[in-house]
A and B are shown apart, each in its own frame.
Chain A
Amino acid sequence: MSEQTTVAVLGYGTMGAGIAQVCAQAGLETLVVEAAQEPLAAGQRRLEAFLAEGVRRGKVDEAEREATLARIRRTTDLADCAGVDVAIEAVVEDLAVKRALLGRLGEVVGADTLVATNTSALSVTELARAYAYPERVGGLHFFNPAPLMALVEVVVAIDTSDETTAALTAFAEQIGKQPVTTKDRPGFLVNRLLMPYLNQALQAYDDGIASARDVDAAVELGLGYPMGPLTLLDLIGLDNHEHATSAAYEQTKDPDFAPPPLLSRMVDAGRLGRKSGRGLRVGVES
């Protein structure tokens, strides 16, 4: 793939906007597709705000900001994807929605197009079967915020061809990310390792082993992690974590993935973490 690589990002939410920024900043012509004008405008505002913050912090210069924005085109017509080299699907984590979209995408682009899904909790294999050429589909799992996080998981589904895996890996490097290849199993690699730990930490807190402050402090100071597990849960969103860990639990029946009762109660109470202003640490510090 060359400088002329063209990319379509399907979905302009938090992840879609982050991925579009990464691609455009790497010099690629990037087309963003959304279902309607309103989410398209909202995604654009998000991306522009993120870039502006980069400029404010001195991470991005003004010329780079302008060039990045100039490389991004927006559309509500999926047919505009015709001829793109890479299509990255980053719409809502809903199997039916993603499958319908991938089905329609197969009518627009051909077997030459490399297709990636940014799903974190769904089966890439099942999604790929909705596309006309499943061997051309793999996972490209970005982490939030995508412009700042260096890692991308390249997820090899059952039908993914070796050529596709190699191309996705090369593409990840082209956009400046560090790829790691992993299998299409629940949680892929990172979330498979992260979720049981978060569940365990939440249960330890609920069991009264230590205060919320001390659970986080032990991990930050004793292990040198950038933030403690309860602060991290507040950042991820307790509803997002519940969704992801429940999905892994349903597929594995492994009790380490089972959402702890406190997690579900917190979600019931609308205490979702940072985004709702109240969670395990956010909004409860004395």
Chain B
Amino acid sequence: MTQALNVGVLGAGTMGVGIAVTVARAGHAVTVRDPDAERVEHGVVQVRRFLDRSVELGKLDAAVRDAALAGLRGTTELGDLAACDVVIEAIFEDVELKARTFGELDAICPETTLFHTNTSTLSVTAIAAGSRLPERVVGTHYCNPAPLMKLVEVVKGRRTSEDAFARTLAFVEGLGKTAVVTEDVPGFLVNLFLVPFENDCIRALEAGMGTVESIDTAVRLALGYPMGPFTLMDIVGMDVHKAVSMSLYRQLRKPRFAPPPLVDRMISAGHLGRKTGQGFYTYEEAGLMGT
């Protein structure tokens, strides 16, 4: 699957934009769809800005950018995805919504169209059940920021066909990504390991084993992680951390995944992280994002 495809990206949020950049840069024609016209417009601008910046930094040939931008479109209409070979959904993390959307696409796209879900914690099998043809639904979990992170977790739902799975692996590798294959388990690999580790760090803080600074320092220096857990959670946002933790806890029913009480206290206080200027650390300028 090396020839240019028509690819639809559902959702013009951070992940949708990052995935659109990744796919367009690999030579595919990309249509970004969001029901909100302003978000569509903003998303397309973001994709263009990222590609322009890549050219400025010497990371991307101008010709590749020009080709990518020539194939880039935005729309509010699901119907505009009728000619897509692949549709990647990166919409709000809600099983019903994702499942329903694939059901709607059944009536729009040909039966050969691959449906990819970028869910990070939900069941691919449950999302696939919204389609009349669950065999064509595959999980492709990109890491944030998608254009820069090499990894994509490729997830086989219980009803995913071998053919759809193989075509998906080829597609992901064609994007220049490294695919890892995981079963449809909550959190797949990356979040399955990361989220309880972060909760363990919060519990160690609650237990007085160290301070925010000393735990971040210990993790960076002794384990070599690129960023301390509290610095990372401040970027992710405590509201998002709680949602992800609760989603995994509900599915796995293991205490390590349960967000510790400090998470609720911080959310109640409005200490969500960088975006509110206060999380585990204090930030001068609210809303400054790490990337």
CB proximity of B144 to chain A, nearest CB, Å: 10
Interface residues of B in 190-244 (CB under 8 A from A): 190, 192-194, 196-197, 200-201, 204, 207-210, 214-215, 217-219, 221-227
Q: List residues 169-223 of chain A with CB under 8 A from any CB of chain B.
A: 178, 180-183, 185, 188-190, 192-194, 196-197, 200-201, 204, 207-211, 214-215, 217-219, 221-223
B189 interfacial by beta-carbon distance below 8 Å: yes
Q: Does A242 reach chain B (CB closer than 8 Å)?
A: no
- Selected interface stretch from A56-64, A147-155, A277-285: A147-155
In the assembled complex, which residues on chain A have CB atoms less than 8 Å from the CB atom of B143?
Answer: 221-222
Question: Contact at A210–B221, with CB atoms within 8 Å?
Answer: no
Main SS of the interface on chain A?
mixed
Decide if B204 touches A223 in the complex (CB within 8 Å).
no
Interface size classification for chain A: 35 or more
Instruction: Give the docked Cα–Cα distance between A63 and B180 (Å).
Output: 48
- B62 in the interface (beta carbon within 8 A): no
Q: Which residues from B are CB-within-8-Å of A209?
A: 182-183, 185, 188-189, 192
Given the known interface contacts A178-B217, A221-B149, the answer about A193 and B189 at a Cβ–Cβ threshold of 8 Å is no
Bound CA span A224–B180, Å:
15
Interface presence of B101 (CB below 8 A): no
Give the residue of B190, B194, B197, B215 whose beta carbon is less than 8 angstroms from that of A189.
B215
**A210 & B197 in contact (Cβ 8 Å cutoff):** no
CB distance from B212 to the nearest CB of A (A): 12
- Asked whether, in the complex, the Cβ of B225 is within 8 Å of the Cβ of A218, the reply is no
A283 to B145, CA, bound (A): 35
In the complex, the answer to whether A193 meets B200 with C-beta atoms within 8 Å is: yes
- Find out whether the CB atom of B189 lies under 8 angstroms from the CB atom of A222: yes
Alpha-carbon separation in the docked complex, A180 to B204 (Å)? 13
Chain A CB within 10 Å, residue with most, of B143, B183, B217, B221:
B221
Note all chain A residues with C-beta closer than 8 A to B178: 217, 221
Contact of B267 with A by CB under 8 A: no
How far does the Cβ of B181 sit from chain A's closest Cβ, in whole Å?
6
A193 touches B193 (CB 8 A): no
Q: Give Cα A149 to B218, complex, Å.
A: 11
Say whether B190 contacts A210, CB under 8 Å: no
| CB of B150 closer than 8 Å to a CB of A | yes
A151 lies within 8 A of B193 (CB): no
Q: B151 in the interface, Cβ–Cβ < 8 Å?
A: yes
Q: Which residue of A lies closest to B215 (CB)?
A: A189
Q: Which residue of B lies closest to A178 (CB)?
A: B221
Q: Smallest CB–CB gap between A66 and chain B, Å?
A: 29
* List of B residues within 8 angstroms of A190 by Cβ: 218-219, 222-223
| Cα A186 to Cα B180 with chains together (Å) | 34
Give bound CA distance, A270 to B125, whole Å. Answer: 40
Judging by beta carbons under 8 Å apart, are B180 and A218 in contact?
Answer: yes
Q: Hey, which chain B residues are within 8 Å of A182, CB to CB?
A: 209-210, 214
B256 CB-CB contact with A under 8 Å: yes
| Interface presence of A11 (CB below 8 A) | no
B135 at the interface (CB under 8 A from A): no
How far does the alpha carbon of A218 sit from the alpha carbon of B193 in the complex, in Å?
10
B190: nearest residue on chain A (CB-CB)? A222
Q: Are A210 and B180 in touch, CB under 8 angstroms?
A: yes
Q: What 1/0 mask marks residues of chain B from 158 to 188 whose CB sits below 8 Å from any chain A CB?
A: 0000000000000000000010111101001
Contact A214–B189 (Cβ < 8 Å): yes
Chain A CB count within 10 A is highest, among B180, B183, B208, B227, for B180
Give the Cβ gap from A61 to chain B, nearest Cβ, in Å.
25
For residue B89, CB closer than 8 A to chain A, the reply is no
Q: Are B182 and A200 in contact (CB under 8 A)?
A: no
CB proximity to B under 8 Å, residues A47-89: none
Q: Does A249 contact B (CB under 8 A)?
A: no
Q: Does B153 contact A (CB under 8 A)?
A: yes
Contacts of B225 in A (CB 8 A): 223-226
Inter-chain contact B181/A193, CB cutoff 8 Å: no
CB distance from B220 to the nearest CB of A (A): 8
Q: Roughly how many angstroms separate A215 CA and B193 CA in the complex, as a whole number?
A: 10
* Minimum Cβ distance to chain A for residue B217 (Å): 6
- Can you name 19 A-B residue pairings with CB atoms under 8 Å? A180-B217, A181-B210, A183-B208, A192-B204, A193-B204, A193-B215, A194-B223, A196-B197, A196-B256, A204-B192, A210-B183, A218-B151, A219-B190, A219-B193, A222-B151, A222-B189, A223-B194, A223-B225, A225-B223
